[in-house]
Amino acid sequence: MNCLLTRNDESWLWHRRLAHIHMHHLNTLASKDLVIGLLKLKFERDKLCEASQKGKQTKSSFKPLNVVSTSRPLELLHMNLFGP
- Residues 6 or more apart whose Cβ sits within 8 Å of residue 23: 11, 15, 43, 44, 45
Taking all residues of the chain, what is their mean pLDDT, rounded to a whole number? 77
Q: How far apart are the first and last CA of the chain?
A: 52
pLDDT tens digits along 44-67: 777 778 888 887 777 777 777 777
Mark the ranges of the chain whose per-residue pLDDT is less than 70: 1-8, 81-84
pLDDT at 66: 78
Which of 48, 51, 25 has the alpha carbon at shortest distance from 38?
Answer: 25
How much is the pTM?
A: 0.53
